[in-house]
Structure 1
Amino acid sequence: MTIHKLLVLILVVGLVLGGCVKTDPKPDDNKPTIEEKVAQMIQAERYSLSKSEQETYQLGSVLSGGGSVPSSNTPQGWIDLIASYQEASTIPVVYGVDAVHGHNNAQGATIFPHNIGLGATNDPELIKKIGIAVGKELLATGVHWNFAPCLAVVQDIRWGRTYESYSENPQLVSELGTAFIQGIQSTGIAATAKHYLADGGTVFGTSSGSYKIDQGDAQLDEATLRAIHLYPYLSAIAQGNVLSVMISFSSIDGLKMHANDYWINDVLKDELNFKGLVVSDWEAIHQLEGSLYMQLVSAVNAGVDLLMEPNNWNNVYTTMLRAVKNGDIAEERIDDAFSRIQYVKEQLGLIDATFPQGKASDFNSEEHRALAREAVSKSLVLLKNNNVLPLAKSSNILLIGPGADNAGLASGGWTVSWQGEMNDSKLPQATTLKEAFESVANENGATIFTDVAQVDQADVVVVVLSETPYAEGVGDASDLGLSGNTMHPDNAAAIEFARTTKKPVVVLLNSGRPRVVGDEIDDWDALVMTWLYGSEAQGITDVLYGDLDFTGKLPVTWPKTSDTSNTSSMAGDRDLDNVLFDFGYGLHY
């Protein structure tokens, strides 16, 4: 063999052997580390996360809870706040808010009726338009993600979140919830189907602390859970392509939903093929058993992808890293959560910087106010009318009651602040009921009186009864009477005065749920349910004066007593003797 051939042979053998040797690949600098993935799974409140902290930790999301706003609560103030987090982020944050009836945190936004009123419209196309309007107002402030709509199917109206539910009927909730999702997501904003699962089906008395039913226990068999409470999620996912689902504080048969592997992993993610992200509710994992370490292991392994940890995010970050390194949370589970969060950010255009730019002119636009006014008019339910309605535009009216001139009471909870406003000082954009009445009266030579001493000059008395604002379990009520839990203390005096006037009496009930009217209704010539109607009271006078007819129907059953445990039309052992006005009831001219 020549030297030349020998050298070639040695070279070939070397190449072959070299190809068989396993070498460590070069590290991929673009591949996120476990620390980066875990950070993406955490959402902090804007008041607890500085720009410098975001530069260090690179959290995946930031939120503004109810009443949490930038120092300048203007569209530009919101844009600047969110931009400051993006400047500090390698992977863009997704910023979320609870815009549950308009962009209700932002001062000056259009405030739509709460969901219970929208349920009375039974108008999916209207709800889709509202979804678009809310999306545009969120875009005008730079927000990416809305923690709405609520798909609760309320079965006991003593629940403080009744007004966040469209109806006691799952079909109605499904149709309207999906319409809202389709509308808002068409603008480029992510929607959230919440609160999964059976938040509207808990048993009164099973909650803790001062709450009576909110965050309680749903004691139902699987067939009932699927038929009533899971039903709206089917369409939200299949037809709405909703991008996120928020887990409920509540339990099913004693097991907290945030630890419910079956309903989150097996049903939501596998059976329903949900591809988006699953987010916890506000610090909800801390209601699980054990230490923070155990709570995180339970929630993340059960399928929660993004942890809403407004205050404790730093401890959550370090503790979750420890759980992963100990093998109690598999890295594959972290990868799944991370990929779902990135999927949502990609769908929103955050990763490639194609997230839509909003228009300042869309914020509380004339078009949106007109839409809210239409929603108010379609939400009204006429429950009684002894030929006193419609009102003549030339009628002189005595307008009394706590809700007569108060946009805060008209809007309820989740308005500017979490628990709502007792007056309208922070709602300068709103038209109050008094202003709406005066607008019609002034054009027709009539007078709106508000001083009871002038009752003799009035042709009719309009009494506006009202709840005081509340949100979540703060509104749980054992007494649904007109002077019961969450009702305004001035209702009784207004009712009593109207009874003594010997004038026709029209009662408007400004409330997030039906109230027990008892014998008082016998003294009234008309009763109209106005719900929590928001900023556009002209929608009420449009109907009361007869420019439009009543079209609203009750989305929930109206009870005779405060025991509403089985008055719903969906109840298997329904107590028909406790039904005053049935689901779907509503008169017209």
Structure 2
Amino acid sequence: MSNRCSDFVKADCIYKNQNEQIEVRVRDLLSKMTLNEKAGQMTQIERTVATHSAIKDLSIGISLLISLNLLILSGGGSGPFDKASPCDWADMIDAFQNSALQSRLGIPIIYATDAVHGHNNVFGATIFPHNIGLGATRDADLVQRIGAATALEVRATGVHCAFAPCVAVARDPRWGRYYESFSEDTEIVRNMTSVVAGLQGLPPAGHPNGYPYVAGRNNVIACAKHFVGDGGTDKGINEGNAILSLSDLEKIHMAPYLDCLSQGVSTVMATYSSWNGSKLHSDYYLLTTTLKEKMGFQGFVISDWEGIDRLSQPHGSDYRYCISESINAGVDMVMVPFRYEKFLEDLIFLVESGDIPMSRIDDAVERILRVKFIAGLFEHPLTDRSLLDTVGSKIHRELAREAVRKSLVLLKNGKHPNKPFLPLDRSARRILVAGSHADDLGYQCGGWTMTWHGSSGNITTGTTILDAIKEAVGGETEIIYQKYPSPDIFAAKDFSFAVVVVGEAAYAEALGDNSVLEIPFGGSDLISLVATRVPTLVIMISGRPLVLDPGMLEKVDAFVAAWLPGTEGAGILDVVFGESEFVGLLPVTWFRRVDQLPLNAGDHSHDPLFPLGFGLKKFGVENHSIE
């Protein structure tokens, strides 16, 4: 005889009744669950180990999509197959969901992805500028609209949860995740948390602070990360140690979470890093006393990828210690992501032995179920296929192009006062385009694009800067592209001007940690080579400020910081050719020398090359604004 709820007496199926209050449904379902089923809800596994039996029999709580091609699949991201369509994604995820619905209680899974700048794991999706570029726009409404567009593309593929936004306040550009932050300035980051309302929908007036909110099937569960202080580690070391007082931790790094909670953010991810030597994944004071009790967060706390494993270092390979420390500290769901059988075995043992109280398990599962009910997963567990056409749609790409235009920061325009170099002439006779990043969509997008670290080349669909230049100029203009031009070309050709595009390779997390911060691929030498021979615009593609040699900067005629703009490179040319005005302002301090770091606005030794808030107008050299 089946034990599924459909066979229970109707009175025993309160949690299936969508007309009941959510908290009543949560308590009813929790009362019916075994310890094994509760443990399953607290377990997050990677898609490659999410078998039918694992989901159905163990009641796994959430399946994870995260493209770590070095850890999951050789030569590809964690998807159905290379360049899978949105429909292929939906088919895969619905198959997982159907397995979950066949479990004893029919509890749906949450499927999650790192959609940190659009639905960046899916081929053909719209890739928006990374957060540092959005911080340069200072446009909270734009960021909210980007969140809403991202939510549509994510839900179109069957995914329910986006591990975004990152609300770190980045204080040192040596950090490999610097571009995931909107700014070094807490108030700018707080303003940009409007992306939460875009992803989840805007809560109605009077919505309880700290209580999760998801408006409907066009929205996703959002995740504020990484709690807390990840942007303030010593020397910008990824997963490092933030050494600062509680007062500064609250004032600088914790404040954006208050804004996220006020918008009903549903989940919060703990950071790998430490605060004054205490790893956040085991910090009861910050996760429970502060976040859950003082701040009133009623959603669930999720670990980072194998985040609890980092706790084992002083205790050898004692995985039970890692589980006990993290769960008792306040982690509700653990991103295992592979050895889920070991995790479940040890978690159940720790509960049965009394090391983890059952009350802590019930609290964690209650929080997870609350989010599932609020997100409407019990009523609508499967993909809404009517959304499929939103993925990479024209309207979303136009929105991304708008974001690119507004994110550009003009650092120099002309060698002489009142003689601006920009805008460029569309009818120029001959243009030289050069540099490692002029025709590289992968470098434009940066990390967290198709794969974990990102890569170079035509990794998805979009418009490179070279493509956009060709579209922008008149038919009589000759464009000569050489990634690294030979000096001989300057004698053979008479160029009207040159556009040199340099920048960083794609990277993510610790592989992006950089103590040197020089322009890679011989960028400085290339700029000097071209700029001494031809009037030159330099466009820098980077996730942070890099060292700009004063002599090199003096040689160029104009310099634009374009950050990591994503797939819509045409937005850059909209501005440099004069269709739109430069409005972007530096979201961070641009340092002179690495030995100044960390260098932030308000520091006693503040002597930047360009200060926070700097940005020139197109038709003059005066500051657009300095904050």
Work out whether residues 558 and 582 of structure 1, in 8 Å CA contact, stay in contact via their aligned partners in 2.
yes
Work out whether residues 402 and 490 of structure 1, in 8 Å CA contact, stay in contact via their aligned partners in 2.
no
What's the counterpart of residue 450 of structure 2?
416
Structure 2 residue 84 is matched with structure 1 residue 59: no
What's the counterpart of residue 460 of structure 1?
497
Matches within 5 A, 1:38-77: 38-66=39-67, 67-71=77-81, 73-77=84-88
Give the whole-Å Cα distance in 1 for the aligned partners of 2:604 and 2:197.
34
Q: State the one-letter code of the partner of 1:436.
A: A
Per-residue CA shift, 1:384-442, capped at 9, x if unaligned?
01121110111231010001111011111001010101111x21x2111111000011x
What's the counterpart of residue 472 of structure 1?
509
Structure 2 residue 409 is matched with structure 1 residue 399: no
TM normalised by structure 2 equals 0.84
Deviation at 1:496, TM superposition (A): 3.8
What's the counterpart of residue 507 of structure 1?
538
Deviation at 1:491, TM superposition (A): 2.1
Work out whether residues 567 and 574 of structure 1, in 8 Å CA contact, stay in contact via their aligned partners in 2.
no
TM normalised by structure 1 equals 0.90
Work out whether residues 566 and 575 of structure 1, in 8 Å CA contact, stay in contact via their aligned partners in 2.
no
Runs of 4+ in 1 over 6 A off after TM superposition: 27-30
Deviation at 1:356, TM superposition (A): 7.3
Give the whole-Å Cα distance in 1 for the aligned partners of 2:144 and 2:604.
33
What's the counterpart of residue 235 of structure 1?
259
CA RMSD of superposed structures (Å)? 1.7
Structure 2 residue 90 is matched with structure 1 residue 79: yes
Give the whole-Å Cα distance in 2 for the aligned partners of 1:561 and 1:355.
53
Work out whether residues 151 and 194 of structure 1, in 8 Å CA contact, stay in contact via their aligned partners in 2.
yes
Distance 1:575 1:29, change over 3 A: closer
Distance 1:136 1:196, change over 3 A: same
What's the counterpart of residue 261 of structure 1?
284
Q: State the one-letter code of the partner of 1:82.
A: I
Work out whether residues 379 and 552 of structure 1, in 8 Å CA contact, stay in contact via their aligned partners in 2.
yes
User: 3-state DSSP class of the match of 1:580?
Assistant: coil
Work out whether residues 39 and 348 of structure 2, in 8 Å CA contact, stay in contact via their aligned partners in 1.
yes
What's the counterpart of residue 6 of structure 2?
none
Work out whether residues 528 and 555 of structure 2, in 8 Å CA contact, stay in contact via their aligned partners in 1.
no
User: 3-state DSSP class of the match of 1:63?
Assistant: strand
Matches within 5 A, 1:506-585: 506-518=537-549, 519-569=551-601, 573-577=603-607, 579-585=608-614
Structure 2 residue 130 is matched with structure 1 residue 97: no
| 1:367 equivalent among 377, 395, 398 | 395
Which stretches in structure 1 are left out of the alignment for 5+ residues?
1-26, 205-211
Distance 1:356 1:126, change over 3 A: farther
Matches within 5 A, 1:242-257: 242-257=265-280
Q: State the one-letter code of the partner of 1:237.
A: L
What's the counterpart of residue 301 of structure 1?
328
The share of aligned pairs that are identical, in percent, is 40
Matches within 5 A, 1:286-365: 286-289=309-312, 290=315, 291-353=318-380, 357=384, 358-365=386-393
Give the whole-Å Cα distance in 2 for the aligned partners of 1:365 and 1:352.
28
| 1:192 equivalent among 223, 226, 229 | 223
Deviation at 1:302, TM superposition (A): 0.5
Distance 1:449 1:295, change over 3 A: same
Which stretches in structure 2 are left out of the alignment for 5+ residues?
1-27, 68-76, 101-105, 202-217, 415-419, 619-627
Structure 2 residue 415 is matched with structure 1 residue 384: no
Work out whether residues 45 and 64 of structure 1, in 8 Å CA contact, stay in contact via their aligned partners in 2.
yes
| 2:132 equivalent among 105, 116, 119 | 116
Give the whole-Å Cα distance in 2 for the aligned partners of 1:353 and 1:132.
19
Deviation at 1:71, TM superposition (A): 2.6
Deviation at 1:454, TM superposition (A): 4.7
Give the whole-Å Cα distance in 2 for the aligned partners of 1:121 and 1:62.
34
Deviation at 1:139, TM superposition (A): 1.1
Report which of the two structures shows the higher radius of gyration computed on alpha carbons. 1
User: 3-state DSSP class of the match of 2:412?
Assistant: strand
Aligned pair count?
542
Work out whether residues 349 and 355 of structure 1, in 8 Å CA contact, stay in contact via their aligned partners in 2.
no
**Deviates most, 184-193 or 491-500:** 491-500
User: 3-state DSSP class of the match of 1:527?
Assistant: strand
Give the whole-Å Cα distance in 2 for the aligned partners of 1:336 and 1:364.
39
Matches within 5 A, 1:416-435: 416-424=450-458, 426-427=459-460, 429-435=461-467
Work out whether residues 466 and 509 of structure 1, in 8 Å CA contact, stay in contact via their aligned partners in 2.
yes
Work out whether residues 157 and 564 of structure 1, in 8 Å CA contact, stay in contact via their aligned partners in 2.
no
Matches within 5 A, 1:95-244: 95-177=111-193, 179-186=194-201, 187-204=218-235, 213-238=237-262, 240-244=263-267
Work out whether residues 465 and 507 of structure 1, in 8 Å CA contact, stay in contact via their aligned partners in 2.
yes
User: 3-state DSSP class of the match of 1:68?
Assistant: coil
